[in-house]
């Protein structure tokens, strides 16, 4: 498993220059994988050059449209996905996270079907660009009230129904601990459906060593199960962000 720095969690990144500085600082700290969310302000050629110079991988960015629960928004999401894939290829990125949007109040069966059909419609785009899109289950108890996709089981069902090597789950350990727990069996028994991990301490969404989760044990179990992808340290540091990343690398790197 590779530890990954979600740059907006630790460094200001509202300009390309700030983002490049964050890439270089992550490399100095021993991190060779980073991710980000809103990519639209980035100069993709400058970012790609910096990644090549530092040996750092930008492993994922975010699709900047998230309404998959209604067919009426399908074309908007597909257009946003195409734009995201073009930016991804420009920076050497192979994964894009998507949220699925809020519960619309219609039946869950209808919303589930809308998500599946939209992701199926995305197959030609994903195959053309070679980018994997990753729907994300989130918790509604603490952080995302009203969001539709909460359980890993439904997320995995969606991936199976779409049936594409370019559609996988991003599994956030923090969110799923809030929602349902049972972290290690859920991850290790579904590695074929998971392309990326996120992690944070629970409760609080702070450092991994803060809270009830034993991340050394969790990471060891996931490694032994054969996971070779990245895990984004998607938490809000309680202290100095650089010191927090240093300690995370010392403990879990």
pLDDT at 35: 98
Residues 162, 133 contacting (CB under 8 angstroms): no
pLDDT at 224: 98
pLDDT at 25: 98
Extents of the domains making up the chain: 2-252
Token digits of residue 188: 């290790």
Token digits of residue 237: 């540091």
Strands (E) in 38-193, as ranges, are: 57-62, 95-98, 132-135, 169-172
CA gap 166, 95 in Å, rounded: 9
CATH domain 2-252 topology: TIM Barrel (3.20.20)
CA gap 226, 53 in Å, rounded: 30
Residues 34, 58 contacting (CB under 8 angstroms): yes
Q: What is the pLDDT of residues 187-201, one digit of tens each?
A: 999 999 999 999 999
pLDDT at 31: 98
Which residue stretches of the chain have pLDDT < 50? none
Burial code (b: 16+ CB inside 10 Å, e: under 16) for 146-170 equals ebbbbebebbbebbeebeeebbbbb
CA gap 235, 20 in Å, rounded: 21
Is the overall model pTM greater than 0.85, yes or no? Answer: yes
Dihedrals φ, ψ of 112, to 5°? Answer: -60, -45
pLDDT at 83: 98
């Amino acid at each position: 498993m590779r530890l990954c720095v979600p740059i907006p969690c630790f460094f200001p990144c509202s300009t390309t220059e700030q983002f490049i500085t964050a890439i270089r600082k992550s490399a100095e700290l021993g991190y060779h994988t980073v991710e980000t969310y809103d990519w639209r302000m980035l100069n993709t050629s400058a970012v790609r050059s910096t990644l090549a110079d530092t040996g750092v991988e930008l492993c994922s960015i975010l699709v900047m449209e998230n309404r998959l629960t209604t067919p009426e928004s399908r074309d908007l999401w597909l257009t946003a996905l195409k734009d995201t894939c073009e930016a991804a290829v420009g920076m050497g990125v192979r994964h894009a996270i998507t949220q699925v949007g809020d519960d619309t109040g219609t039946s869950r069966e209808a919303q589930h079907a809308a998500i599946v059909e939209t992701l199926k419609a995305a197959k030609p785009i994903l195959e053309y660009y070679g980018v994997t899109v990753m729907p994300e289950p989130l918790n509604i108890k603490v952080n995302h009230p009203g969001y539709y996709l909460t359980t890993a089981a439904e997320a995995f069902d969606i991936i199976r129904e779409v049936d594409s090597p370019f559609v996988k789950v991003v599994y956030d350990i923090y969110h799923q601990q809030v929602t349902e727990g049972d972290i290690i069996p859920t991850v290790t028994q579904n590695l074929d459906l998971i392309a990326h991990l996120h992690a944070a301490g629970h409760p609080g969404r702070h450092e991994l060593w803060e809270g009830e989760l034993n991340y050394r044990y969790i990471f060891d179990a996931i490694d032994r199960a054969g996971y070779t992808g990245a895990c984004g340290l998607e938490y809000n540091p309680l202290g100095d962000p650089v010191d927090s990343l240093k300690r995370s690398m010392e403990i879990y790197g």
